[in-house]
Chain A
Amino acid sequence: MSMYQITAWITTFITSVICVITYLSNSRKEVNKRWFLMSLSIALWSLFLGFMFGAKDAKSAFIYSKTLMMGASFIPITFYHFVLVLIEKQKEKKQRSILLFGYLIAIFVFLLNFTSLLVKSVSYKTIVRCFYPDAGYLFILYIFSYFAFFGYGCFLLFKSEKMLPMFKKNQVRYILIASGIGSVGGATTFPLWYQIQIVPFGSHFVWLYTFAISIAFLRYILMDIRVVVTRASIFAFVYVLVLGIPFMIAKVAKPYLVGAFSERWWLVILGIGMILAGIGPFIYIRLKSRAEAILLKEERKRHQDLARASRDILRFTNLDALLKAIIHSLIRIMRIKLAAIYLADEDKKVYSLKSAWQPPIKNPDLPKQVIFNSALIKMLSNRKDKPLTIDELNFYRRGSDDLEFLELKQIFESLKSQLIIPAYRTGKLMGFLCLGNKYSERGYSQEDIQVLMVLASHATLAIENAIFSGQERERQAILFHSASLASLGTMASMMGHQVNNRFQAVNNLAGFSETLELMLDSKKDFSLDERKQLIEKSITSLRRISDEATKGGETVASIRRLGKLSSEEFSPVALGEVLDVALGVLRYKIKFDEFNFNMDVLDTLPKILGDSTQLGEVFFNLIDNAYDAIKERAEANSNPDYKVEGDGLAADSQSHKLEGDGLATDSQSHKLEGDGLAADSQSHKLEGDGLASDSQSRKPELTIKAYIKRNDKHLHIEVSDTGMGIKDDFMPKLFVPFYTTKTSSGKGTGLGLHVIKRIIEFHKGKISVESKYGEGTTFKIELPTAEAREGEKTNA
């Protein structure tokens, strides 16, 4: 069996397999049908070619050559038709005429095989060592059609390459090169028909050609052909060296080696060969990376930018800002015309457009919603995290009437997109990114898509984070408000109590009327002096009633002030007034004779820009807490067995249970809100004037101090007590939401230091605490003056 026969049948085998695969993969697609027909023609041709090469006599050789030409007659036209369908030009009028013409020629050539006009005869040709056909008069027609159709087909491929999207471009390049080489290779068989002594070496490689083309169009994503060619060349180069060098050495240096090593001289060669084979791969890899770095420099840079953007977006906590950032990065780095993000709306069963940009249009005309069971979502869900391009849809299209394809194509068009990247989180489709065409009109390469997938997964994480933060903030705001209201409730309740006391006093004094009545009833005779006394007593009572009424009125006024629930109306407020409100309420509960109350707050201090109600709450709570701490300590000192429950601030052990509620959020907010607290928890100060051991004989102190520092537009306020203090362990958790919940005489809830901190921060201030357990605590507050805040506004 000759080489020719072997290679011919290899071609047959491979081409037949390709036939079958092509048919099975997608028989309804036009391009597959065309390729199937062409492969079939080639398979038939090569089958009989093989037989012909193996023919033992002229007669059988003659028959085989006719049959092989029957197969061959259709090769050119089927190729041409395949190309047309590939570049989607088969419907053009001009092309249809050409096709018709081509098929007619093919049929004609086919029929010619029944005569000897195509294949005149066979003769034994030494150059191939077998019988080989001789050309008939009309063989030239076949050659003509062959070159015409292959040539023009390749030309069309070449021309169309520029205008195709990336993936098709690659395909076309592969096919063009393969066809070019293949057709030239095929043509090498012609000269010998005319006794021109050229070896038909091309026939050995036909299988390669069909194989290459099949790969090109059966696989959807192909490596960039430049990369393939580069790698192949470098590989060839390296291995030519690896194999060639020992060979060269053997040839050139053989005499010397034999001289040196006699019979074992070839071991040296082998040794050199092995060394080279060892280092060969490394050289290959290095050269390959260098070459590809240069080749793909621009693409690599883009991908690096995208990778960096992926990491950057993780720092966003605001959802809107995050989405805008993602879209801007995509448009800028990928240089595309449009980007949009859709996110799932759990309750509404749709994916809503959250952010989009089509420079310069800020709100491009895109569908606002995509429903859960639209074709697009179904397709994305089926493919898990694989991105989807319109090209791929086209590729897998099952024929021109594929309804699903048409629906998807319409969706893509309405989304103005070329690529859609799904965002998955815990197995669910959270949303998707839509990317439009690149400005360069080139498609998305495989590497592009891979990098974009990384961006998408980072984006998904960041989006989830932002949503969670947003929800957290909302939740905190709600908790804050209810705590605020509860605290206000307590204050109002206390004030109500005070008013009731005023009324009781009024009642008591008015009760003098009852006394008078009793006296009148007794019908006793009153002396002048006695009458005078009664009248004077009445006058006193009435005056006192008036006083009590006035006091009541003042309390009502403070209740009225409370009634202005925290609107965000900031106005300049004097600290003195705020403290008056707070103390006014507390005067009821706090026995100011039990301790030394020092207030060092001058009227001349600058005003704070703020909400007097909220600030009132803050100081009300701080002073209340301070007072409780003092009482605790007094208890502890008088009763040695008395154990302080919890952190010294909570009077009730329930506070620990409440802390457990939402611990995850506690630690998170602690991280988010850290400002000055970490620093302060370490330092402890001896409070006041060294009351440590001597607490029993000395009166406790509660001090409120306010001052300004030079060149610092802040008002500094300190509320300190010589109470129980706070244990070290509890210091870090001090400002955690609801950590401190205490009951004051069983009524209401304290504001909790967390809420106090929020109010201070809302006023653009800072709060910190220093404490020593057993000795006392100082809260330090810093608030910008009204002047400073005004300055901010004018600067902004």
Chain B
Amino acid sequence: MPKLFIVDDEPSFEEAIKPFFELKGFTVFTAQSGEEALPKIEIEKPDVILLDMHLKGKLDGLGILKEIKEKSLSAKIIMLTGMENDVKDEALKIGADKFLTKPVTVKVLYESVAEVLAQDK
């Protein structure tokens, strides 16, 4: 059972996305901020992380991305943002696997997750 970790402060992610992915056979964890997410990620070691660029707290998406990479966690990371793509290159450079611009449908989210999971194999 692949593990999916969603880091986004938008409550509808937990309400709506989580049930969907669970039906698809994922184990889903959520967190609303970087501070909350990082320790959990280290413990759970998810396969895919859905990471929003703008979060509460001190760390923003890029910061969290860096931290995850520094800890050499093996998760695939999909960045999610509502703004322009000018940090896209930076995110990809730091090591994000995919970069999506909101709004995206649940279907697209699912397909992206499947895509990055398939990358290693």
The chain A residues found within 8 Å of chain B, CB to CB, are 493, 496-501, 503-512, 514-515, 518-519, 541, 544, 548, 588-589, 591, 593, 745-747
Chain B neighbourhood of A747, CB < 8 A: 83-84, 86
> Could you tell me the distance between the alpha carbons of A593 and B32 in the complex, rounded to whole angstroms?
14
> Could you tell me the distance between the alpha carbons of A509 and B19 in the complex, rounded to whole angstroms?
11
Q: Which residue of A493, A496, A507, A544 contacts B104 across the interface (Cβ within 8 Å)?
A: A507
Chain B neighbourhood of A510, CB < 8 A: 105-106
Contact B82 A498 (CB under 8 A): yes
> Could you tell me the distance between the alpha carbons of A649 and B110 in the complex, rounded to whole angstroms?
43
> Could you tell me the distance between the alpha carbons of A501 and B102 in the complex, rounded to whole angstroms?
7
Contact A511 B16 (CB under 8 A): yes
Given contacts A507-B106, A508-B10, A519-B23, 18 further A-B contacts (CB under 8 A): A493-B83, A493-B84, A504-B103, A506-B103, A507-B104, A507-B105, A508-B15, A508-B16, A509-B15, A509-B16, A511-B107, A512-B16, A514-B20, A514-B107, A515-B16, A548-B12, A589-B54, A747-B86
Contact B56 A504 (CB under 8 A): no
> Could you tell me the distance between the alpha carbons of A588 and B87 in the complex, rounded to whole angstroms?
18
Residue B97 CB within 8 A of the other chain: no
Chain A neighbourhood of B102, CB < 8 A: 500-501, 503-504
Q: Which residue of B12, B24, B106, B110 contacts A544 across the interface (Cβ within 8 Å)?
A: B12
Q: Which residue of A505, A541, A591, A745 contacts B10 across the interface (Cβ within 8 Å)?
A: A505
> Could you tell me the distance between the alpha carbons of A136 and B12 in the complex, rounded to whole angstroms?
141
Chain A neighbourhood of B12, CB < 8 A: 504-505, 508-509, 544, 548
Contact A511 B17 (CB under 8 A): yes
Q: 1/0 contact trace for B14-36 toward A, CB 8 Å?
A: 01110110011000000000000
User: Which of under 10, 10 to 19, 20 to 34, or 35 or more describes the interface residues of B?
Assistant: 20 to 34
Please provide the 4 A-B residue pairs with the shortest distance between their CB atoms, ordered closest to farther.
A511-B106, A500-B82, A503-B103, A508-B12
Min CB distance, B72 to chain A, in Å? Answer: 24
Given contact pairs A503-B103, A508-B10, A509-B12, A518 touches B20 in the complex (Cβ within 8 A): yes
Given contact pairs A498-B82, A511-B105, A591-B57, A518 touches B24 in the complex (Cβ within 8 A): yes
> Could you tell me the distance between the alpha carbons of A506 and B87 in the complex, rounded to whole angstroms?
25
Min CB distance, A631 to chain B, in Å? Answer: 8
Chain A neighbourhood of B54, CB < 8 A: 497, 588-589, 745
Smallest CB-CB separation from A515: which chain B residue? Answer: B20
Smallest CB-CB separation from A544: which chain B residue? Answer: B12
Contact A541 B83 (CB under 8 A): no
> Could you tell me the distance between the alpha carbons of A591 and B58 in the complex, rounded to whole angstroms?
10
> Could you tell me the distance between the alpha carbons of A292 and B6 in the complex, rounded to whole angstroms?
100
> Could you tell me the distance between the alpha carbons of A504 and B12 in the complex, rounded to whole angstroms?
9
> Could you tell me the distance between the alpha carbons of A745 and B62 in the complex, rounded to whole angstroms?
10
Smallest CB-CB separation from B19: which chain A residue? Answer: A515
Chain B neighbourhood of A503, CB < 8 A: 102-103
Chain A neighbourhood of B60, CB < 8 A: 745
30 A–B contacts from the bound complex (CB under 8 Å): A496-B82, A497-B54, A500-B82, A500-B101, A501-B102, A504-B10, A504-B102, A504-B103, A504-B104, A507-B105, A507-B106, A508-B17, A509-B12, A509-B16, A510-B106, A511-B106, A511-B107, A512-B20, A514-B107, A515-B19, A518-B24, A519-B23, A544-B12, A544-B15, A588-B54, A589-B54, A591-B56, A593-B56, A746-B87, A747-B83
Chain A neighbourhood of B15, CB < 8 A: 508-509, 544
> Could you tell me the distance between the alpha carbons of A497 and B101 in the complex, rounded to whole angstroms?
10
> Could you tell me the distance between the alpha carbons of A509 and B103 in the complex, rounded to whole angstroms?
12
Smallest CB-CB separation from B107: which chain A residue? Answer: A514
> Could you tell me the distance between the alpha carbons of A506 and B56 in the complex, rounded to whole angstroms?
21
Chain B neighbourhood of A500, CB < 8 A: 82-83, 101-103
Min CB distance, A63 to chain B, in Å? Answer: 115
Smallest CB-CB separation from A591: which chain B residue? Answer: B56
> Could you tell me the distance between the alpha carbons of A548 and B102 in the complex, rounded to whole angstroms?
15
